[in-house]
Amino acid sequence: MNEIYSFSSEEYTNDPDMIETMGIRGKRIMDLARLGVPTLPGFILSNEFLATEEDSPKEHAANIKQAVNKMGKLLDKKFGDPQNPLLIKMVVSPMLNMVYTVFSLHNIGLCDTTIDGFAAYVGESFAYHEYRNVISRIIELDLKSTTEEDRKKTLETLLGKVQKAKAVTKIKQIIEEAKEYYPLDIFTDAWKQIEFAENLYKRFFEGNEALNDSALLVQAMTFGNYGKESYFGSYYTRNIVTGENELSGEFFENSFDSKGKKGKKITLIKAPYLDGLKQIASELERAFKEIRKITFTIEDGSLWVIDQFEASDKSTQAEMKTLLDLHSEGVIEDNYLIHALKPGRFAEILHPVLDKEAAKDVPYVQGGIAGAMGAAVGKVYFSTDELLKEYKMAQQRNQPLDFILVMPSTYAEDVKAIEVARGVLTKEGGYASHAPVVARSLGKVAMVFPEMEFRKDHIVINGQKFKEGDEISLDVPSYDTPKIYFSKLALIEPSINDCGILEFLEIIQKHIGDFDIHANADQPKDAELAKLFKADGIGLCRTEHMFFNEKRIPIFRTLIIADSVEERLKALDLLRPMQVDDFYNLFKIMEGHPVTIRLLDAPLHEFLPHTRQSMLDFIDFAKKQNPKLTEEEIRQRCDMLGEENPMLGHRGVRVAITYPEIYNMQVSAIFEAAYRLQKEGVDVVPEIMIPIIMDANEVRAVRFGKKIEGTEIIGINEIEKQVRDTLGARAIEYRVGVMIELPAAVLNADKIAKYADFFSFGTNDLTQTTNGLSRDDFNSFFTNYNEFDLLEKNPFKVLGKQVKEMVSIAAERGRLTRPDITMGICGEHGAEPANLPFIRSCGLNYASCSPYGIPIAKLALAQMNV
Ligand code: PEP
Ligand code: MG
């Protein structure tokens, strides 16, 4: 067993068994020495050595002397020298990362015989303060390990006096007094001071269970106030927010502490030192493969690294940029890069994040449910109308457009407010509810906070009142419970093109294997983003989202309250050209890739006006469209559309059976867009998807048509032919598929597959209908289930066992009929990395998720493959 492990820039130990005995500080210093960065020399007393009784204290003292003299030689100083004394520190090196600061003793070697020599460099006042600190720390350490009550009291009084002494004369006085309580030679002989300190530590460790297996690090001191060319400071190896490869941090010149002072930017330090610091940064980054924080001292022109740590406050973007740089320099390979980041952390890169510095002292409340990641700041408004009014005014006045929609829950008519707001905060709902789903698809932030109270003209969050126009900030990170800050904080905006994520995806892409990632996208900008992220297609275009905008929603309302085919067709005629444009744009952006258009699927009542004002606006509109309608009639028809249990109500394919005109319009718009693009030479791959299917007969009717007396469902195939003939186009290849989102569809999958080219599992509804859990109300009792260990994970995020079983059964039955059937998943579960192993293992071909989820899903896949 070695008792002393010396280190310096030229000497280190590499043996893992030895390093094991050195504690975490010792290990960190050995890392530095091993890397050859300028490390102040020193040695480590291993925990093994400290725990055993020394055979020969004399021999040990000689060994210590030898090791300390070796340090002095390297630094051109001598321990105990009256002119230019070497001073050392002893630092506890615990085996575990301790949260509290453990005792260290600095400036050992400072005593009556060396103080003047030291003062010649740093000034008398500083020198005596340090001498006082040595004595004060010795007393503190002594106190910590003393059990005798009388002695404790005496030491406490002495310590009080020592700590109070500020002026040099006072310090001199109190040191004289301290000599009565300690062996005189520790005040006169530097070597005796080391011996005394070591023994104190041994005693301290023995009496302290948490530390009794610690090692002791002994190292030379340096001073940033040792003369003209002396500095100290700390810096990160690069910018911890952006990842830009430029040192960030500060330094102080000829100074000994930074308290209350502002340092200078590290890049302004003299060129030769800056070069040295850069060189060290690069070596440490390459060695640790991440950003590090480094503390350093320059004493009389010599640069020394004091310590280095993980930069725990770095942003994900900075981390990613570092990995990319290391990758391009050949320091790390694809494999390392792929596993270095948790997929969910991409959410922080793609959305604005709060400036953590600015958030430091602002009151907040933590809790609720994360709906859509990111950070949002702004004025709160409690209705869509009010928010839009304020938004327009702010636009005209050139004021910041920072708004947050705060409502009990949101509906279709609120999408236009979510669109312009930075975020949405609701009291009700959960991950798969309206506000989070819409926010995710629009790249906005969403949070559900059930404890929020709505009063007449204000809301209450954690006892704090907020009126309309008051400001808050939402922080919804991927790795922590969300927070609401009670004021507006600074935001750091993402820049998808410059942040490095596209480069990162380029590397990941090679390792994704035979599985596709599609996007849930219904707006051109979503499709553009999906394309940027190299989505393999659009897996779910929710067409109902296309009717949510201000211009269309009143027309759609007249459509659903129409009580004759003629009235309905009139509204559909207005909507059709809009839909042609919609599909045209999506097909064009996604050229050559499949675009799955899901025919309308929303409970009709979702489109109804929900506020008094929107009702009045709509009455106005509807009367203009059909002057014969009275206000009373309009209200009655809206009332009739109300549903008791909307998720199981009049939605999806059921609307197609009742009002075939609606799907007819959508299907013909799809083909008109496709054939127009065909003429322009654009490669279009349309897929039509029918939602809320229970039974094969529904698919057959919608796909191939069905006639009954007096009325008819025209099949998709027939509509396609009509459009093709009208436009004189060549037949295009298209596919028709279904959403599997009801248990009945699962059980009928073999029969359904006869008429469906593909299955897309709508796991939001499938979770809802398999468990009989409402996706909107589930969170009101989820926490109780969770507390009682009855449900570990939110089943609307992480697929539950029974839903997985449903997917497996449907996949198996579907393949019995159609072995080459394409299958995918498009519920919110698609982007959750935890679901991907299952999705792939049951043979699905793709997952479709919001565009912002694409990088997350791709990284999760690559991690499964590499
Ligand atoms: C689903 O049910 O999983 C789905 C994707 O459809 P929506 O969320 O639109 O109901
Ligand atoms: Mg659904």
Rounded CA separation 487/233 (Å): 33
SS3 helix, strand, coil % of the chain, rounded to 5? 50, 20, 35
Q: Which fold has domain 349-492?
A: Glucose Oxidase; domain 1 (3.50.30)
Instruction: Judge whether 542 is annotated as a binding position.
Output: yes
Q: Which pLDDT does position 224 carry in this prediction? A: 84
Q: Please give the ipTM for the structure prediction.
A: 0.99
238-242, 259-263, 389-393, 625-629: least confident range: 259-263
Residues with CB under 5 A from ligand 2 (ion): 741, 762, 765
Q: If you search the block for the tokens 């009101």, which residue do you land on?
A: 780
Would you say residue 588 has pLDDT above 80?
A: yes
Please indicate whether residue 458 is annotated as part of the active site: no
Average pLDDT of the chain to the nearest whole number? 92
Average pLDDT on 565-591 reads: 96
Q: Which pLDDT does position 1 carry in this prediction? A: 55
CA–CA distances in Å: residue 652 to residues 533, 608, 648, 796: 30, 17, 10, 20
Q: Is the CB of residue 542 below 6 angstroms from any atom belonging to ligand 1?
A: yes
Q: Which residue among 746, 826, 829, 850 has the greatest number of ligand 1 atoms within 8 angstroms of its CB, and so is best to mutate?
A: 826
Q: If you search the block for the tokens 């941090």, which residue do you land on?
A: 249
Q: Are 95 and 139 in contact (CB under 8 A)?
A: no
The better pLDDT of the pair 438, 247 is held by: 247
All residues at 6 or more sequence positions from 383 whose CB lies less than 8 Å from its CB, including other chains: 407, 611
Q: Which fold has domain 4-220?
A: Dna Ligase; domain 1 (3.30.1490)
Please name which of 26, 23, 28 lies closest in space to residue 310, comparing C-alpha atoms.
28
Percentage of the chain beyond pLDDT 70 is 99
Report pLDDT digits (tens) over 351-407: 888 887 777 789 999 999 998 888 999 999 999 999 999 999 998 888 899 999 999
Q: Which residue among 741, 768, 835, 844 has the greatest number of ligand 1 atoms within 8 angstroms of its CB, and so is best to mutate?
A: 741
Q: Which atom of ligand 1 lies nearest, measured to the CA of 763?
A: 3
Instruction: Judge whether 620 is annotated as a binding position.
Output: no
Q: Which pLDDT does position 101 carry in this prediction? A: 58
Report pLDDT digits (tens) over 444-470: 999 999 999 999 999 999 999 999 999
Rounded CA separation 827/840 (Å): 15
Instruction: Judge whether 741 is annotated as a binding position.
Output: yes
Q: Ligand 2 centre from 477 Cα, in Å? A: 26
Please indicate whether residue 826 is annotated as part of the active site: yes
Q: Which pLDDT does position 655 carry in this prediction? A: 93
Instruction: Judge whether 765 is annotated as a binding position.
Output: yes
Report pLDDT digits (tens) over 259-298: 777 889 999 999 999 999 999 999 999 999 999 999 999 9
Q: Which atom of ligand 1 lies nearest, measured to the CA of 764?
A: 3
Neighbours of 712 (CB within 10 A): 12
Would you say residue 258 has pLDDT above 80?
A: no
Q: Are 87 and 42 in contact (CB under 8 A)?
A: no
In this structure, the dihedral spanned by the alpha carbons of residues 44, 47, 49 and 53, taken in order and rounded to 10 degrees, is: 140
Q: Are 688 and 597 in contact (CB under 8 A)?
A: yes
* Residue 150 per-residue DSSP state: H
All residues at 6 or more sequence positions from 213 whose CB lies less than 8 Å from its CB, including other chains: 47, 51, 94, 95
Report pLDDT digits (tens) over 528-563: 999 999 999 999 999 999 998 788 999 999 999 998
Alpha helices in 146-289 (DSSP H): 149-164, 168-178, 185-188, 190-206, 271-288
Q: Which of 638, 826, 842, 849 is catalytic?
A: 826
Report pLDDT digits (tens) over 408-429: 999 888 988 999 999 999 999 8
Q: What does the angle CA 82 – CA 87 – CA 90 come to, to the nearest 5 degrees?
A: 150
Evaluated on CA atoms 544, 651, 388, 623, the torsion sign reads positive
Average pLDDT on 175-180 reads: 94
Class of the CATH domain delimited by 517-865: alpha beta
Q: Is the CB of residue 598 below 6 angstroms from any atom belonging to ligand 1?
A: no
Give domain limits for the chain.
4-220, 231-340, 349-492, 517-865
Q: Is the CB of residue 803 below 6 angstroms from any atom belonging to ligand 1?
A: no
Would you say residue 98 has pLDDT above 70?
A: no
Would you say residue 726 has pLDDT above 90?
A: yes
Q: Which pLDDT does position 711 carry in this prediction? A: 87
Q: Is the CB of residue 760 below 6 angstroms from any atom belonging to ligand 1?
A: no
Length of the chain: 866
Instruction: Judge whether 827 is annotated as a binding position.
Output: no
Would you say residue 100 has pLDDT above 70?
A: no
Q: Which pLDDT does position 102 carry in this prediction? A: 64
| Candidates 2.40.110.10, 3.30.470.20, 3.30.360.10, 3.30.70.20; CATH matching 231-340 | 3.30.470.20
Please name which of 822, 389, 791 lies closest in space to residue 594, comparing C-alpha atoms.
822
Query: Which tokens go with 307?
Result: 């310590």
Average pLDDT on 806-825 reads: 98
Rounded CA separation 343/348 (Å): 10
Would you say residue 595 has pLDDT above 90?
A: yes
Q: Which residues are bridge partners to 846 per DSSP?
A: 516, 824
Average pLDDT on 19-36 reads: 92
Q: If you search the block for the tokens 């949405």, which residue do you land on?
A: 424
Q: Is the CB of residue 666 below 6 angstroms from any atom belonging to ligand 1?
A: no
Q: Is the CB of residue 764 below 6 angstroms from any atom belonging to ligand 1?
A: yes
Rounded CA separation 41/43 (Å): 7
Q: Which pLDDT does position 99 carry in this prediction? A: 54
